Amino acid sequence: MNEIDTKQINEKDIETAKKKGSIFGDPEFIVGE
Amino acid sequence: MTRYSADRALDAEITVDFTKGEFTSDFSLNKSCNKYNSNTGSVLHKEIKVSYARTVLLVCWHIFIMPFLLAFISLFHLIITKYSETPLLRKHHDFVFKEQKLLKWCMLQKYGSSEYIQFGKQDTNKITYTIPANLWFQYELDGEYRQKIKTLQLLRNFVKKVNGFKTEFRQAGWNVILTFTEPPQNGYMILRYLNM
């Protein structure tokens, strides 16, 4: 199993992600909240 | 709201690259680290500004409700941790996400949250701030802080600890690192995190 996991962020989410987001360490990345 | 999850429900060092549009989770340090690590901060000044009724309610809450909630969450968390690498749970991110949201809510009730604010002109293109736990944090960027953001990282913070028997670099919380393409001149960033 890979130790590094990469997910692509949708282009439309990037601008929102630059403004606001939150991270759960387990891991989850929530855009705009 | 869009949610991005890694394939495993385990602690990870996280990098969000805004230029490449990638969310990377690095699990490689999990084997050697304690994932329940947190700091205990010293108190410089304490001021109590709550009414008598609220104090009574809070005491009742902590004595009668909180132990059951925490016991339930701990059990739930143990089960999740035990089966976090099974194919069943890997495919059910919603279950893990809901568990984390519940855990976050309980920790917010028990420990509360803090806000760290940086604003105006910066001299360097990197801002580092140490938070006690990685359960949850939230960021908000505005002005050039938003325009020039390159990456956001959540990495383990290690400190050297020495006693009469041994010296060790032990994890003490997590570093939130914001890297900019060049130092921001205006705007602000707010970082909210759990006090654990």
User: Tens of pLDDT along B126-145?
Assistant: 999 999 888 899 999 999 99
Q: Which residues contact B119 (CB under 8 A, 6 or more apart)?
A: B187, B188, B189
How far apart (Å, rounded) are the C-alpha atoms in residues B15 and B176?
Answer: 10
Tokens of A19: 């403004």
CA distance A15 to chain B (A): 9
- What is the mean predicted confidence (pLDDT) over B41-55? 63
Q: Are residues B128 and B195 in the same domain?
A: yes
Q: Are the C-beta atoms of residues B14 and B25 closer than 8 Å to each other?
A: yes
How far apart (Å, rounded) are the C-alpha atoms in residues B143 and B134?
Answer: 26
Chain A hits for B2, CB-CB cut-off 8 Å, are: 10, 13, 16, 30-32
A-chain residue closest to B2, CA distance: A31
Q: Are residues B131 and B97 in the same domain?
A: no
Q: What is the pLDDT of residue B24?
A: 92
ipTM value: 0.93
Chain B hits for A22, CB-CB cut-off 8 Å, are: 136-139
3 state SS of B190: strand
Of the residues B65, B88, B110, which one is the last residue of a structural domain? B110
Strand B149-162 to strand B167-180: parallel, antiparallel, or no bridges (unpaired)?
A: antiparallel
Write out the residue range of the structural domain in which residue B153 sits.
1-40+112-196
Is B96 in Cβ contact with A26 (below 8 Å)?
A: yes
Q: Are residues B11 and B106 in the same domain?
A: no
Checking if the pLDDT of B101 tops 90, the result is: no
Q: In what order do the strands lie in the sheet with A20-24?
A: B2-5, A28-31, A20-24, B137-143, B187-194, B113-119
